[in-house]
Amino acid sequence: MGTDESKKAGDPLTQPDSGFYRELLDHLSDGVYFVDRERRIHYWNEGARRLTGYGAEEVVGRRCQDGILCHTDPSGRDVCRGQCPLASSMKDGVQHEGYLFLRHKQGRRVPIWVRVQPIRGADGSIVGAVEIFSDDTAGTEERRKVAVMQRLAFLDHLTELPNRRFLEITLQTALAEFEGQKDALGVLMVDLDNLKGINDTFGHSFGDEALKQIAKTLSSSLRPTDTVGRWGGDEFLAIVREVNRESLLLLAERCAEHVRQISIPNQNGKVLAASVSVGAALCRAEESGEDLVQRADRLLYLSKARGKNQATVE
């Protein structure tokens, strides 16, 4: 077989090595990567680097199961070591898609929408799969909200989340709606465990970085209709509508689980494994915003008294 024919019949997993296809895929805003049957990564485009923080030199040759991106489903369950969309597509030969979270190189959890197709060799057999993934955080809309809050002095400048003033106004509006329409309302009080120890061990600048990454993780863990902001210090408050006790607990546990999966590296190569304690309270009839927040705060400290790194709901 001639050289040109050999190239045409080459391994389909390495076809993007040609300059034309590499440049074409690198111009996509979506992340694209190819894996073989063992889920070993053979190709990683620039979009994947922008969305994850990892360059091709850090991931090509490694397997999904090696704990690079640590994909989880919305409930926080690890899918990389189980039947992930890539494995499912290679098993049944059809397209799979779904909503997952990955762990960014900086440590935060990022919600993504993934689409997976099997890759077939010349004989029709499945030799691998390609995954295309996109950021599902609606970044453009979030940037618009940030700009508005900056103009109105409603932004916490460290975390770029709404500040306490904004949260107090939002809570009063939500309480008025609750009193008028009786739509279920709840709040989550979230506190970073052991911030003093983090500051003492890693330094205050690293403690600030931990707060930033946790803020981004909490924001992506909640629903688009929820509002989360920095209440003060290492405390965050989330205002959640249309919930019952079960769904409120699910949201609280999701926040705790996603923060648990954070690992934030510092300049010395040390890695922080963070955790939060959560208090979750459903609003009661004729309860004031102050009373609701105080009750969530009490539940938060009950979580800490029980060993931290967990959620308590009432």
- How are beta strands 31-36 and 271-273 bridged, if at all? unpaired
pLDDT-based confidence at residue 52 (cuts at 50, 70, 90): very high
In a domain, 73, yes or no: yes
Residues 222 and 124 grouped into a single domain: no
CA torsion through residues 32, 79, 252, 303, sign: negative
In a domain, 141, yes or no: no
pLDDT-based confidence at residue 135 (cuts at 50, 70, 90): confident
Catalytic residues: 234
Residues 131 and 194 grouped into a single domain: no
Q: How many CB atoms lie within 10 A of CB 146?
A: 15
Helix (H) or strand (E) holding 21, with range, is helix 19-26
Residues 113 and 17 grouped into a single domain: yes
pLDDT in tens, 209-247: 889 999 999 999 998 889 999 999 999 999 998 899 999
Residues 189 and 95 grouped into a single domain: no
pLDDT-based confidence at residue 147 (cuts at 50, 70, 90): low
pLDDT in tens, 277-292: 999 999 998 889 999 9
Residues 182 and 130 grouped into a single domain: no
Residues 93 and 163 grouped into a single domain: no
Residues 186 and 270 grouped into a single domain: yes
Residues 209 and 70 grouped into a single domain: no
What the block records as the tokens of 82 is 């189980």
Report the range of poorest mean pLDDT among 63-67, 102-106, 250-254, 298-302.
63-67
The CATH code of the domain that includes 114 is 3.30.450.20
Mean predicted confidence (pLDDT) in 28-53? 92
Residues 182 and 303 grouped into a single domain: yes
pLDDT in tens, 18-27: 555 666 787 7
Helix/strand/coil for 234: coil
Considering 102, 135, 168, which residue would you say is the last residue of a domain? 135
Q: How many CB atoms lie within 10 A of CB 58?
A: 15
What local confidence, expressed as pLDDT, does residue 177 receive? 83
Q: Would you say 194 and 273 are in contact if contact means Cβ atoms under 8 Å apart?
A: no
CA distances from 42 to 32, 39, 117, 252, 312 (A): 11, 9, 15, 38, 44
pLDDT in tens, 38-47: 999 999 999 9
Residues 207 and 91 grouped into a single domain: no
Q: What's the number of domains the chain is made of?
A: 2
Residues 164 and 309 grouped into a single domain: yes
Considering 94, 120, 135, which residue would you say is the last residue of a domain? 135
In a domain, 7, yes or no: yes
The C-alpha atoms of residue 63 and residue 59 are separated, in whole angstroms, by 8
Residues 271 and 130 grouped into a single domain: no
What local confidence, expressed as pLDDT, does residue 225 receive? 86
| Residue type for position 140 | T
For residue 85, give its domain range.
Answer: 3-135
